[in-house]
Amino acid sequence: MKCLYCGHLESKVVDSRPTDEGGAIRRRRECLRCGKRFTTYEKIEEIPIMVVKKDGRREEFDSNKVLSGIRKACEKRPIPYAEIERTADDVTREVFNTLDQEVTSERIGEIIMAKLKELDEVAYVRFASVYRQFKDLDEFMSEMRRLLLEKESKENAAKNPKGGGHRA
């Protein structure tokens, strides 16, 4: 490791420990020529995933944008920030687990909506209204009806588990 002070290429590790998040290892080093100490961080090299936007542009995947979108959708909702961060981490993990080097912004939006639907219905509708760019109240109400029917269907399935009952 090249010394920050004198440029010498050899140093020794004096102390090594994981960072608070566990995503990297912090190393204190001492230059073998000048004796000065400096800190380096070692972390896993991430292969960048490119996001293909609706207009065809490509940009590097940014998990901060995912977190920001989820945070806006959850604004003023009774959701602990740790849950918001966990949801953003889940989305990021799912995107990276596709193992594709490119993913569409539409796919990322669908993943976020699926996670928000589990987390908070109001946050889901907020995100969907921006993501799907509802043009009028009819489109918005159509999505609300679909959500309510889904919820009702799940509640009925929970009340009447399969095999529980009707005889002919």
Distance CA 79, CA 73 (A): 11
Owner of token pair 């699926």: 114
The whole domain housing 15 covers 11-43
Q: Tell me: do 61 and 16 sit in the same domain.
A: no
pLDDT at 147: 81
pLDDT at 163: 53
Q: Tell me: do 27 and 93 sit in the same domain.
A: no
Q: Tell me: do 33 and 116 sit in the same domain.
A: no
Distance CA 92, CA 111 (A): 9
Question: Has residue 148 been placed in a domain?
Answer: yes
Question: Has residue 2 been placed in a domain?
Answer: no
The DSSP 8-state label assigned to residue 29 in this structure reads: E
In terms of Cβ atoms closer than 10 Å to its own Cβ (0-12, 13-18, 19+), residue 18 is exposed
pTM of the model: 0.63
Low-confidence stretches of the chain (pLDDT < 70) are 162-168
Q: Tell me: do 85 and 26 sit in the same domain.
A: no
Q: Are 13 and 28 in contact (CB under 8 A)?
A: yes
